[in-house]
Chain A
Amino acid sequence: MSAIGNTLYQQFGAIRRWRLLMVSAMAVGVLVMLCLDLWAGPAGLAFSDIVTGLIDPQQLELRHRIILWDVRLPDALIALAVGAALGLAGVETQTILDNPLASPFTLGVSSAAVLGASLAIVVVPVVPFFAEAAVLPMMALLFALGSGVLILMIVRWSNGARETVVLFGIALVFLCNALTAGLQYIASAEAVQQIVFWTIGNLTRAGWPEVAMVGACFVCVLPFSLRHVWVMTLLRGGEAHARSMGINVARLRLWVILRVSLLAAFAVCFVGAIGFIGLVGPHIARLMLGEDHRMLVPGSALCGALILSCASFLSKALIPGVIIPVGILTAVVGVPVFLGLLSGRRRMA
Chain B
Amino acid sequence: MQAVLRYLSALIFTIVVMQQASANVIEVTDIAGRNVTVELPVKRLVVSEARYLPLLALLRPDDPIKGIVGMMTPLGWTHPDIEAQLFERYPEARDIPLFGGRNKDSVSVEKIIDLAPELAIFGLNDHGPGAKNAELIDQLIAAGTKIVFIDFRSDPLHNTLPSIRLLGRLLGAENRAGEYADFYQARFDRIVTRVSQTEQRPTVFLQAHPGRFECCWGMADGMLGPFIEIAGGTNIADAVAPGPTAQHTAEFLLTENPDVWIGTASGTFDEFTDGAEPVALGAGMTPETASQSLTRYLSAPEFAALDAVRNGRAHSIWHNFYNSPFNIVALEAFAKWTHPEIFNDIDPMETLTEIYARWLPFELNGTYAASVGGVQ
Contacts and interface: CB of A to CB of B under 8 A. Distances in A.
Given A194-B212, A204-B249, A43 B101 contact: no
A188 interface: yes
Contacts of B302: 66, 70-71
A63 B276 CA distance: 27
A71 B251 contact: yes
Given A70-B302, A132-B276, A185 B106 contact: yes
B248 A322 contact: yes
Q: How large is the interface on B (under 10, 10 to 19, 20 to 34, 35 or more residues)?
A: 35 or more
Contact of A325 (B77, B239, B247): B247
B101 A322 contact: no
Interface string A65-79: 011001110000000
A319 interface: yes
A282 interface: no
A319 B271 CA distance: 35
A258 B136 CA distance: 49
A66 B277 contact: no
Interface string A55-68: 00000001100110
Contact of B255 (A42, A186, A323, A325): A42
B3 to A, nearest CB: 64
Contacts of A190: 209, 212-213, 266
A321 B252 contact: yes
Interface string A152-172: 000000000000000000000
A323 B248 contact: yes
A320 B251 contact: no
Given A186-B102, A190-B209, A320-B240, A133 B249 contact: no
Contacts of B248: 321-323
B115 to A, nearest CB: 22
Contact of B77 (A70, A188, A205, A319): A188
B241 interface: yes
Contacts, number: 99
B241 A322 contact: yes
Given A67-B251, A71-B249, A204 B241 contact: no
Interface string B262-285: 000010000100111100000000
A133 B277 contact: yes
B240 A319 contact: yes
A322 B242 contact: yes
B257 interface: yes
Contacts of A124: 271, 276
B365 to A, nearest CB: 22
A70 B303 CA distance: 11
Interface residues of A, number: 35
A202 interface: yes
A70 B341 CA distance: 35
Contact of A316 (B249, B257, B301): B249
Contacts of A185: 101, 103, 105-106
Contacts of B364: none
A187 B213 CA distance: 15
Given A66-B301, A70-B302, A189-B103, A323 B249 contact: yes
A176 B277 CA distance: 27
A83 interface: no
A322 B247 contact: yes
Contacts of B215: 204
B302 to A, nearest CB: 6
Nearest to A198: B214
A192 interface: yes
A46 interface: no
A188 B73 CA distance: 10
Nearest to B242: A319
Contacts of A66: 250, 254, 301-302, 305
Contact of A42 (B101, B105, B251): B251
Contacts of B241: 322
Given A66-B305, A132-B275, A188-B77, A72 B240 contact: no
Nearest to B73: A188
Contacts of A197: 213-214, 247
A87 interface: no
A1 interface: no
Contact of B277 (A41, A42, A132): A132
A320 to B, nearest CB: 7
A317 to B, nearest CB: 12
A46 to B, nearest CB: 14
A4 interface: no
A43 B103 contact: no
A66 B106 CA distance: 44
B187 interface: no
A187 B254 contact: no
A72 B251 contact: yes
B66 interface: no
Contacts of B32: none
B102 A126 contact: no
Interface string A303-333: 0000000000000100111110100000000
A136 to B, nearest CB: 10
B251 A41 contact: yes
Contacts of A72: 251
B249 A187 contact: no
Given A43-B251, A194-B212, A204-B249, A63 B127 contact: no
Given A316-B249, A321-B248, 14 more contacts: A42-B255, A63-B305, A67-B254, A67-B255, A71-B302, A126-B275, A132-B275, A186-B101, A189-B102, A192-B103, A204-B214, A204-B249, A322-B241, A322-B242
Interface of A: 41-44, 62-63, 66-67, 70-72, 124, 126, 132-133, 185-190, 192-194, 197, 202, 204-205, 316, 319-323, 325
The 9 closest A-B pairs by CB, nearest first: A321-B240, A43-B255, A322-B246, A71-B251, A323-B247, A189-B127, A321-B252, A42-B255, A67-B251
17 contacts: A63-B254, A63-B255, A66-B250, A66-B302, A67-B250, A67-B254, A70-B302, A126-B274, A189-B103, A190-B213, A202-B214, A202-B247, A204-B214, A204-B215, A319-B242, A322-B242, A323-B249
